[in-house]
Amino acid sequence: MGSPVTLHSRPAEIALAAWSIVKGLAVTLRNALRPSVTRDYPARRTALHPRFRGKLGHKRAEDGRPRCTACMACEKVCPTLAIREIEGDEAKGRERRVRTYVWDASRCLFCNLCVEACPFDAIELGQEYSIVGDSREQTCFDLEDLLEPAGKGESR
Amino acid sequence: MSGLPAAASGLHSSLLTWWADRGLPPWVFDAIWMVLMAAIVTVFVLLTVLFLVWVERKISGDIQSRVGPNRTGGRFGLLQTAADALKLLTKEDIIPECADRPIFVLAPFLVFVPVLVVFLIVPFGEHWIVKDLNLGVLFVVAVSALPVIGIFMAGWGSNNKWALLGAVRAVGQAISYEIPLILALVCVVVFAGSIRIGDIVSAQRDGHWFITRFPLQIAFLLYFVAAMAEVNRVPFDLPEAESELVAGYHVEYSGMRFALFFLAEFAHLFFVAAFCTTLFLGAWDGPWLPPALWFLIKTYAVILVIMWVRWTIPRLRIDQVMGFAWKCLVPIGLLAVLATGLVAAVWGVP
Amino acid sequence: MIHETTPTTQVALNMGPQHPSTHGVLRLELMLEGEVIVGCNPIIGYLHRGIEKIGEARSYPGFLPYTDRLDYLSSASNNLAYVQAVEKLIELEVPERARYLRVMLLELNRIASHLVFVATFANDLGATTAFLYGFREREPIMDMFEMWTGARLTQSWIRIGGVAGDIPEGFAEAARSFCAMLLPRLQEYDRLLTGNHIFRARTEGVGLLSRDVGINYGCSGPTLRGSGEPYDIRRAEPHEVYDRLNFDVVTDDSADCMGRYRVRIEEMRQSVRIVEQCLSQLPAGEVLARLPRVVRPPEGEAWGRVESPRGDFGCFVVSDGGPQPLRVRIRAPSFYHMGALPEMLRGWKIGDVVAILGSLDIVLGEIDR
């Protein structure tokens, strides 16, 4: 049981082995002269692509109210039960607005199913990715944390 | 005699006179003086090692399209290794419950001390040598073979199969590569006609470096390869092979004890390169620049090549490592000795 | 031979689950005589999450994100195998454009996965630098995934009936420039690794898996093709649009670690060809077929098969007519390769364990499920 390539049988082979190592050295040298590809995170952060799937966000309608009508489509479709405790106000149908909404980042798979299920285009997976906490409670976000800042939605 | 060593030797003789005037025995003074010199060399070596670790990281970073250390101590991370050393020194000292305590505790020192001791004979400059022993080369061979005992003790004392496997590999490898290493040294000794380091260096003065003289080039390559194996560098890093044996013989070590192994490895690397410079590259010989600077430049060049190789090629398997030593390096070494002897006998050594 | 004359004791050595080269949480119980392996018993299950069982408690679309977590180095192929099974159940016609996009996503995943293979395989053999190079080259693919699907690793982008979204503007250019960049880099790998004599000495003739043994163990993918069997689901049972694309099924007769490595390197070149063809042939149109809000396939069973970077990845779905599958069964190629591992290891040394294991390119996510 021996390898077809040995490093000690004939002088010619030793020379070939040495030459193959020299070729490898040339490759590493060339790469050493290339600029480095790593980024100085967190000092310098690169922009994310617009489709990046990060923290869940609630959009606002033109009148400043949340677009979500608490229809429960996202809660039903969520495979990991990361969306829960959705409650709306007293109004009915399209006029109803969400009052409570909990999104648990530690359960979320960021699979985008909720966004696709939403009939009112009310939620999105946004650009924020640093969603950390010391406890399970801290990774749960309620409507107040999820709703985009007022003013931004009105321009939409 | 250049500046600093002259001043040192002047200081030495005046202090000795002062000491003898008070009726104190001169051998005590000699002992104190040697300890002082040794301390200076030790500090120098340790600082160099910290620097070398940084160099290694930067080089691997460059080769791998990364930046390497860039936070601690400015943009180039110069203090990174100092910070790491501090961290290791302040860590909890863990000795595994089942370890063989005395052996486990002693092992890192047995690895570290011999590596420092060999620096006694490194000629940093014309008279910058702590003790120019008349059996210099023999001393190096004897002392630099000692760490492997410490390595085996570490592997055995850890009471861990991974560590033991690493230790077994280390012993086999160290013994095998000692032979081509000694054969390479024999070639040099034949040309120098002495085993005193000072004589070897003066035989290479004014550009007559041994690497330029046929057939010592073979001995140089032989030494270079065997030395990489001696310091357990890729492709001969089997005793610690992190993807196979996790960390090999020092898998159970942490904190300061691990730091000793780590420092010893880099100190050994520095020594091997320095010795290579001494034997083949004319030691401190060179124009214009001060001798000590020349010595360091050459040593660092050798170290850079060793590091460059390390970050390029894969690791050998244990049987290939042994086969390479016995079936390739030893025959080449014997041939080199024969060729050197013939050249010396026929043409004579200039 | 020393161990024929000297009595030696066999030593049991636990490799893993905390070991850098077991590619996850795998434990190998090795029986050693010195450094030589006389027996090996792989112990799996450290990453068991009960994904098949979860499938029985999720809606048909809702199980999809879980499949990403099987073979996490190429999530698109897992998605596709599951989606294919469901589409067969409900007899759904997938739009033409979506089929091409699926193939493209799959092949980009294959390149990414094979790059990780090259990286980790080299790292197992001690070539740390090649490890970083593999990940460096993979980075543009991850970036392209983020651009297209919004996620880098677990894309969940293939949906029942198509893909979740079309490629964005600029994606085709990014893909083309990536393909142009990759080919010279692969040549660089050839100089750095493939031609290196140490690398060859470590891989050639090591870990032989003969064609027949491989077939008997149920091996597939590059592992089997590295033993000279030209079996590729993309050709044997063409799914999506593979029958319209030109590519070669790469095989290597050496049946050793080097053969499996070479097959994967060459497959990356073939994948580049496929991606380029997809980009030029891409028809216009919808990317997602219309589906009812709740998917209720008729009673029956279906088997989806995909050539994943590791081999024949299959997903078997049984429906009882309800909104949730009655049973989901996953055929993970790595699991079968794991079965052949003890046979391949016998007689080799510890250093070879990592080489042979690395050459199988297992992913524990799909083995343990």
Nearest residue of B to residue C16, measured between CA atoms: B246
pLDDT at residue B6, rounded to an integer: 64
Q: Are strands A56-58 and A123-125 parallel, antiparallel or unpaired?
A: antiparallel
C351 touches chain A (CB under 8 A): no
Q: Which domain holds residue B220?
A: 84-347
A101 — phi, psi (to 5°)?
A: -160, 125
Instruction: Write the residue in B65, B312, B327 that is nearest to A34 by C-beta.
Output: B65
Q: B236 to chain C, minimum CA–CA distance in Å? A: 10
Whole-angstrom Cα distance, residue A11 to residue B244? 30
Collect all residues with Cβ–Cβ distance below 8 Å to C52 and sequence separation of at least 6.
Answer: C327, C328, C329, C330, C369
Contact A7 B324 (CB under 8 A): yes
Query: What's the whole-number mean pLDDT along residues C136-142?
Result: 90
Rg of chain A's alpha carbons, rounded to an integer?
Answer: 27
Nearest residue to B162 (alpha-carbon basis) of C357, C125, C39, C12? C12
Q: Are strands A56-58 and A98-104 parallel, antiparallel or unpaired?
A: unpaired
**Which class for B10: exposed (0-12), middle (13-18), buried (19 or more C-beta within 10 A)?**
exposed
B314 — phi, psi (to 5°)?
A: -75, 180
Instruction: Write the residue in C61, C63, C201 that is nearest to A5 by C-beta.
Output: C201
Residue C17 preceded by cis peptide, ω within 30: yes
Instruction: Write the residue in B59, B66, B308 that is nearest to A38 by C-beta.
Output: B66
Query: Rounded mean pLDDT of chain C?
Result: 87
Angle at C25 between CA B65 and CA C47, to 5 degrees: 120
Within-domain flag for B244: yes
Nearest residue to A156 (alpha-carbon basis) of A119, A110, A116, A122? A122
* Touching partners of C (3+ C-beta pairs < 8 Å): A, B
pLDDT at residue A156, rounded to an integer: 39
Query: What's the whole-number mean pLDDT along residues A137-145?
Result: 83
pLDDT value at C73 more than 60: yes
Q: C45 to chain A, minimum CA–CA distance in Å? A: 22
Q: A56 to chain C, minimum CA–CA distance in Å? A: 13
Read off the pLDDT of residues C290-342 as tens digits, 9 standing for 90 and up.
877 778 888 889 998 999 999 889 999 999 888 889 999 999 999 999 888 88
Within-domain flag for B31: no
Q: Which residues of B touch A23 (CB under 8 A)?
A: none
Contact A25 B70 (CB under 8 A): no
Under 8 Å between Cβ of A113 and C65: yes
pLDDT value at A2 more than 50: no
pLDDT at residue B204, rounded to an integer: 79
Contact B165 C199 (CB under 8 A): no
Collect all residues with Cβ–Cβ distance below 8 Å to B338 and sequence separation of at least 6.
Answer: none
Residue B326 DSSP one-character state: I
Angle at which helices B26-63 and B255-280 cross, to 10°: 90
Q: Which residues of A touch C58 (CB under 8 A)?
A: 79
Query: What's the whole-number mean pLDDT along residues C163-191?
Result: 88
Read off the pLDDT of residues A37-86 as tens digits, 9 standing for 90 and up.
888 888 888 888 888 888 888 888 878 788 888 888 888 888 888 888 78
Under 8 Å between Cβ of C249 and C225: yes
pLDDT value at C6 more than 70: no
Within-domain flag for B194: yes
Query: What's the whole-number mean pLDDT along residues A95-99?
Result: 82
Under 8 Å between Cβ of C22 and C357: yes
- Helix/strand/coil (H, E, C) string of B37-82? HHHHHHHHHHHHHHHHHHHHHHHHHHHCCCCCCCCCCCCCCCCHHH
Q: Between A and C, how many residue pairs show a Cβ–Cβ distance under 8 A?
A: 105
Q: Are strands C11-15 and A140-142 parallel, antiparallel or unpaired?
A: unpaired
Within-domain flag for B153: yes
Two tokens, residue B193 = 């006609």
Quick one: pLDDT band at residue C112, thresholds 50, 70, 90?
very high
Two tokens, residue B85 = 């050393």
A30 touches chain B (CB under 8 A): no
Strands across the sheet containing A98-104 = A83-88, A98-104, A140-142
Beta strands in chain A (DSSP E): 56-58, 83-88, 98-104, 123-125, 140-142
Q: Which residues of A touch C146 (CB under 8 A)?
A: 48-49, 51-52
Whole-angstrom Cα distance, residue B262 to residue B128? 27
- Helix/strand/coil (H, E, C) string of C198-216? HHHHHHCCCCCCCHHHHHH
Left, alpha or beta for B186 (phi > 0: left; psi -120 to 50: alpha)? alpha
Nearest residue of C to residue A116, measured between CA atoms: C164
Quick one: pLDDT band at residue C1, thresholds 50, 70, 90?
very low
Contact A31 B64 (CB under 8 A): yes
Q: Which residues of A touch C129 (CB under 8 A)?
A: 28, 31
Q: Indicate the length of chain B as a whole number.
A: 350
**Which class for C212: exposed (0-12), middle (13-18), buried (19 or more C-beta within 10 A)?**
exposed
Chunked mean pLDDT (size 10), chain B, 350 residues: 60 79 79 82 86 88 85 80 86 84 88 85 74 81 86 87 86 88 88 82 77 81 87 78 76 85 88 88 77 84 89 85 85 88 77
Within-domain flag for B107: yes
Rg of chain C's alpha carbons, rounded to an integer?
Answer: 21
Count up the domains in chain B and report the number.
Answer: 1
Long-range contacts, C326-329 (Cβ 8 Å, 24+): C326/C56, C327/C52, C327/C55, C327/C56, C328/C52, C328/C55, C328/C56, C328/C63, C328/C82, C329/C52
pLDDT at residue C272, rounded to an integer: 92
Q: C274 to chain B, minimum CA–CA distance in Å? A: 29
pLDDT at residue A44, rounded to an integer: 82
pLDDT at residue C110, rounded to an integer: 92
B16 touches chain A (CB under 8 A): no
| Sequential DSSP letters for B259-302 | HHHHHHHHHHHHHHHHHHHHHHS-TT--SSS-HHHHHHHHHHHH
- The predicted complex's ipTM stands at 0.80
Q: Which residues pair with C276 in a beta bridge?
A: none
Nearest residue to C298 (alpha-carbon basis) of C274, C315, C318? C318
Within-domain flag for B41: no
Contact C127 B238 (CB under 8 A): no
Whole-angstrom Cα distance, residue B49 to residue B21? 41
Chain A: which residues have CB within 8 Å of chain C?
1-7, 13, 16-17, 20-21, 23-24, 26-28, 30-31, 37, 48-53, 77-80, 109-113, 116, 125
Whole-angstrom Cα distance, residue C207 to residue C113? 22
Within-domain flag for B326: yes
pLDDT at residue C263, rounded to an integer: 92
**Which class for A39: exposed (0-12), middle (13-18), buried (19 or more C-beta within 10 A)?**
exposed
Contact C347 A77 (CB under 8 A): no
- Helix/strand/coil (H, E, C) string of C8-48? CCCEEEEECCCCCCCCCCCEEEEEEECCEEEEEEEECCCCC
Nearest residue to C204 (alpha-carbon basis) of C192, C212, C214, C196? C196
Contact B323 A8 (CB under 8 A): yes
Higher pLDDT, C175 or B72: C175
Under 8 Å between Cβ of B143 and B99: no
Q: Which residues pair with A98 in a beta bridge?
A: A88
pLDDT at residue B4, rounded to an integer: 60
Hey, of C148, C153, C192, which one would you mutate to test binding to chain A, going by the most A CBs within 10 A of its CB? C192
Nearest residue of A to residue C195, measured between CA atoms: A20
Query: What's the whole-number mean pLDDT along residues C170-198?
Result: 88
Instruction: Write the residue in A5, A16, A111 that is nearest to C156 by C-beta.
Output: A111
Within-domain flag for B256: yes
pLDDT at residue A26, rounded to an integer: 85
Q: Which residues of C touch A3 (CB under 8 A)?
A: 200-202, 204-206
Please name the residue that has the structure tokens 């590059």: C222
Q: Which residues pair with C313 in a beta bridge?
A: C306
Instruction: Write the residue in B65, B241, B313 that is nearest to C198 by C-beta.
Output: B313
Quick one: pLDDT band at residue A7, thresholds 50, 70, 90?
low
Q: Indicate the length of chain A as a whole number.
A: 156
What's the Cα-to-Cα distance from C235 to each of B273, C77, C86, C279, rounded to whole Å? 57, 16, 22, 20
Whole-angstrom Cα distance, residue A23 to residue A18? 9
pLDDT value at C111 more than 90: yes
Give first-to-last CA distance, chain B, whole Å.
25
Hey, of A9, A113, A116, which one would you mutate to test binding to chain C, going by the most C CBs within 10 A of its CB? A113
Contact B312 A6 (CB under 8 A): no
Query: Rounded mean pLDDT of chain B?
Result: 83
**Which class for B71: exposed (0-12), middle (13-18), buried (19 or more C-beta within 10 A)?**
middle
Whole-angstrom Cα distance, residue C134 to residue C122? 9
Two tokens, residue C238 = 């063409």
pLDDT at residue C114, rounded to an integer: 92
Is the pTM here over 0.90, yes or no? no
